[in-house]
Amino acid sequence: MPIVIAVLILLIVIILIRNIRVVQQAKAYVIERLGAYKETWNVGMHLKIPFIEKVAKVVTLKEQVADFPPQPVITKDNVTMQIDTVVYFQITDPKLYTYGIEQPMVAIENLAATTLRNIIGDLELDQCLTSRDIINTKMRAILDEATDPWGIKVNRVELKNILPPKEIQNAMEKQMKAERERREAILRAEGEKRAAILEAEGEKESAILRADAKKQQQILEAEGQAEAILKVQTATAEGIRLINEAAPTDAVIRIKALESFAAAANGQATKIIIPSEIQGLAGLASGVVEAAKEK
């Protein structure tokens, strides 16, 4: 009898241990009692009633990523493209996620595909390629609203790849190549224009500097000549002042005039006008010479 009791106690202990559950961080356990929802266990240790309660679903509360395969879509201008979508979502209500819909990931994938087709159908090819942010925002709003009854919150939606047909890609590459060549030609022309402007400005500045240098040279030469003339005139005036101070006689003045005339006669002049005073002085000098000869 004691052995039976010990075995029973051991079985009870084993059953209790096996029904202890420790819920980890960022997870939740959905518990059912006799097939009906009982509660949701969060982080911590919990005890499940054996044979009556069971863990219906273990739900992760982390943000998850769903990468869906490419979906064929048709634009407003009848271009068929392949677009694959990435959805970032998080489970906010484990109960709704468990009982709200069957296969929630399949439902999100189909909902994302239909939403993408509706949005792309209102846009042309160029708008699809340049309006990713607008498409992402619209899809996130629609998916978040649709998945709210399932206990799912859609945080972000990204268009991973947009693949137009091969012929469209070739045309786009040719267009981009032509655009790059056009920009290169414009930049080259602007560079040549700028170089010509700089060269012209350099020649202009050089000419201005040469003119300024020549002007300064002429100014300095004129100033030198003026200074030389001034010195000559000053010396002449000084000589006249000294002569006036010496009070020379008429004979001395006439002799000086005769010397000056002799110096002028040695020049290149072809015609010389002799003043009357010098003529008289010359005659007087001739008479003196003749008288000396007779003696």
Please write the tens of the pLDDT for every residue from 112-128. Answer: 999 999 998 888 888 88
Task: Please tell me the predicted confidence (pLDDT) of residue 62.
Answer: 92
Which of 164, 198, 218 finishes a domain? 164
Task: Please tell me the predicted confidence (pLDDT) of residue 248.
Answer: 61
Is position 294 within any domain? no
24-65 pLDDT, tens digit each: 898 999 999 988 999 999 998 888 888 888 999 999 999 999
Q: Are residues 37 and 8 in the same domain?
A: yes
Residues 6+ apart with CB under 8 A from 95: 30, 37, 40, 151
Is position 120 within any domain? yes
Q: Are residues 104 and 50 in the same domain?
A: no
Q: How far apart are CA 42 and CA 24, in angstroms?
A: 8
- Quick one: pLDDT band at residue 100, thresholds 50, 70, 90? confident
Is position 50 within any domain? yes
Q: Domain tally for the chain? A: 4
Which of 164, 195, 217 finishes a domain? 164
Mean pLDDT over each residue of the chain, to the nearest integer: 81
Q: How far apart are CA 68 and CA 294, in angstroms?
A: 150
pLDDT of 289 above 50: no
Q: Are residues 187 and 219 in the same domain?
A: yes
Is position 221 within any domain? yes
pLDDT of 259 above 70: no
Number of helices (H), then strands (E), in the chain:
8, 9
Is position 177 within any domain? no
- Residue 125: count other Cβ atoms within 10 Å of its Cβ: 19
Provide the whole-model pTM. 0.56
Q: How far apart are CA 73 and CA 114, in angstroms?
A: 9
162-204 pLDDT, tens digit each: 888 777 777 777 777 788 888 888 988 898 888 889 888 888 8
Is position 115 within any domain? yes
Q: Are residues 28 and 69 in the same domain?
A: no
Give the CATH number, domain containing residue 87.
Answer: 3.30.479.30
Q: How far apart are CA 5 and CA 214, in angstroms?
A: 129
Q: Are residues 49 and 109 in the same domain?
A: no
Q: How far is CA 66 from CA 90, 120, 145, 193, in A?
A: 11, 20, 17, 55
Q: Are residues 67 and 160 in the same domain?
A: yes
Tokens 């010479």 correspond to 289
Task: Please tell me the predicted confidence (pLDDT) of residue 79.
Answer: 84
Tokens 């395969």 correspond to 69
Dihedral sign for Cα atoms in the order 126, 130, 134, 139? positive
Give me the domain span that covers residue 237. Answer: 182-247
Is position 209 within any domain? yes
